[in-house]
Structure 1
């Protein structure tokens, strides 16, 4: 048995230089719960002080191997977290992606940050506490923004790739949706809502359709995960918190496509825009995340900027590496035992 396997790290489904580690969490009403940490474990170990932790979107998991390789080549340790009931962490007895409180993910992030810091210390033989940059996509961007607001000082910067900061349409539609969802969430929170399927974006990404990426059909199904009232209520509460404005202490970068077109079925136009969120409304919401928030727009980008066509994502890689270099963080150089908070903030209502 290799040393990494003996410590719990196992070869990951992505193959190559990727390994994964199961992080046990407290059980919930469906039984045992885990999160899964993925690392790029290439031979070239970067300096101890620079780490990127990636957080996926809804009905999603970490698959962006090219993104990880670029960041490692740029001198960063790279890790990704599959949250409870998503991707590598989804178990057969669980309701996929289900939660009734987005603050439940504080435990996942706390466990991931503790494991990252321990792993970097072991790999680099350094007592320095690494600086962590959190990179989050879509639904994960909403989770990350709320978490960062509750946990000042826990990360150096927050990078949000097309974060889902508002319901598609407007806050007025959200208020109406909450009124409709409230009684359903009380009566039967896990019952799937009867909503139309929207596979157009999946078709733009999947290599079996019009995209170029290999997607696991259980972890990222074409029809997404069923939308349930209990989960919807939690997401709408998160959107309402963003509307009231957050106070994220870290610098925030929001990366968005140039335009939006939300439609159910695929068309050629969907290869050059965001088919999931309203990017203009997201840009407005982004400026209320904290006093140091910037918005970068990428004409021709998909919803996930890092799954867009090559020219677009090359520009995004360059901007991301520059941003991370501009904010090296306050964590570099501290000794073990002096790290900031790692997730133990007040729970969201």
Structure 2
């Protein structure tokens, strides 16, 4: 089994951050594995961290047929909050995971301290992910589904361009090995919300701007127009948890501290 580069090690605790509880939701084609370096650092700083894999992905890929809609992914995280009796949670949704975080906030706002949408998809109630993606991206993904013969899944992308990870990056091979097909139904089914997006939970959108993932340009325009939301920029690519876990951890700890009760 290939070893991960030794450069990705956990740094010692700074001792400056108040302990918080983080639930980290991964994006499309990923699994809880992608949060490894962020979770290690947060735990080393005394935080509690949960990085579950959504049904049908990663080590749960054998259950892809059970994912009939976006609601299944939302229920994964809703049930985690209940099973672990989590409260005052900083809920982080990366990419596709932003849709899941939105649904969880609609149903369980009392369990949350803050929402962090990390370079994520966002839709309004009644919209699906495909409704906010550029038309050429939608056509490419549907064509890939048709060509694969897997009518329940979007095949793994042919390259890592969408992740922002250079092909010569030390972890490029690790990410390629771990990716799995993504349940198509989660992109086709609409998000149903009973409350405004975010449901009153302090919300921060984080744009990973180097390189910027232009597939999400429309989403970022919408976010900038939302009153009361914070907007942050990280000098890293789309898969920030892989590319620059230290920078991401610092941002997450700051957001946790700023939204903590006195």
Specify whether residues 295 and 88 from structure 1 end up closer, same or farther in structure 2 by C-alpha distance, changes over 3 A only.
same
Question: Counterpart of 2:168?
Answer: 210
Counterpart of 2:27 in 1: which secondary structure? coil
Match of 1:151 in 2: 108
Q: Deviations over 1:152-184 (max 9, x none)?
A: 32211111111022699985956xx69xx8xx9
Query: What is the SS of the residue equivalent to 1:215?
Result: helix
| Structure 2 CA distance for aligned equivalents of residues 60 and 196 of structure 1 | 10
Does the CA contact (< 8 Å) of 1:253 and 1:294 recur in 2?
yes
Deviation at 1:139? 0.6
**Structure 1: how far apart are the matches of 2:255 and 2:22?**
12
Q: In structure 1, how many angstroms separate the alpha carbons of the residues matched to 2:247 and 2:203?
A: 18
* Aligned counterparts, 1:190-339, within 5 A: 190=151, 197-201=157-161, 205=165, 209-213=167-171, 215=174, 219-221=178-180, 225=181, 228=184, 230-234=185-189, 237-238=190-191, 246-258=197-209, 272-275=210-213, 277-278=215-216, 280-287=217-224, 292-299=228-235, 301-308=236-243, 310=244, 313-329=245-261
Once superposed, what is the RMSD of the aligned Cα atoms?
Answer: 4.1
Q: Secondary structure in 2 aligned to 1:274?
A: coil
Mapped to 2, the partners of 1:82 and 1:156 lie a distance apart of 22
Query: How far did 1:273 drift?
Result: 0.7
Q: How many angstroms apart in 2 are the aligned matches of 1:327 and 1:149?
A: 19
Q: Which of 67, 77, 80 in structure 1 is aligned with 2:38?
A: 67
Question: What CA distance in whole angstroms lies between the structure 1 residues aligned with 2:234 and 2:94?
Answer: 15
Change (3 A) 1:66 1:49: closer
- Cα gap change, 1:72/1:191 in structure 2, threshold over 3 Å: closer, same or farther? closer
Query: Computing the radius of gyration over CA atoms, which structure comes out larger, 1 or 2?
Result: 1
Gap regions ≥5 residues in structure 2? 5-16
1:78 to 32, 42, 49: 49
TM-score normalised to structure 2 length: 0.70
**Residues 164 and 277, structure 1, Cα contact 8 Å, conserved in 2:** no
1:147 is paired with a residue whose SS is helix
Q: Deviations over 1:115-145 (max 9, x none)?
A: 333xxxxxxxxxxx64211111111111111
In structure 1, the gaps of 5 or more residues are 1-13, 15-46, 118-128, 259-271, 331-349
Q: Relative to structure 1, is the Cα distance of residues 49 and 215 closer, same or farther in structure 2, using a 3 angstrom cutoff?
A: same
Give the Cα separation in 2 of the matches to 1:196 and 1:89.
15
Larger RCO (CA under 8 A, 6+ residues apart): 2
User: How far apart are residue 56 of structure 1 and its match?
Assistant: 0.6
Please state if 1:142 is matched with 2:78: no
Aligned residues: 233
1:226, CA displacement in angstroms? 6.3
Q: 1:191 deviation in Å? A: 5.8
More helix by share: 2
1:54 aligns with 2:11: no
The residue aligned with 1:30 is: none
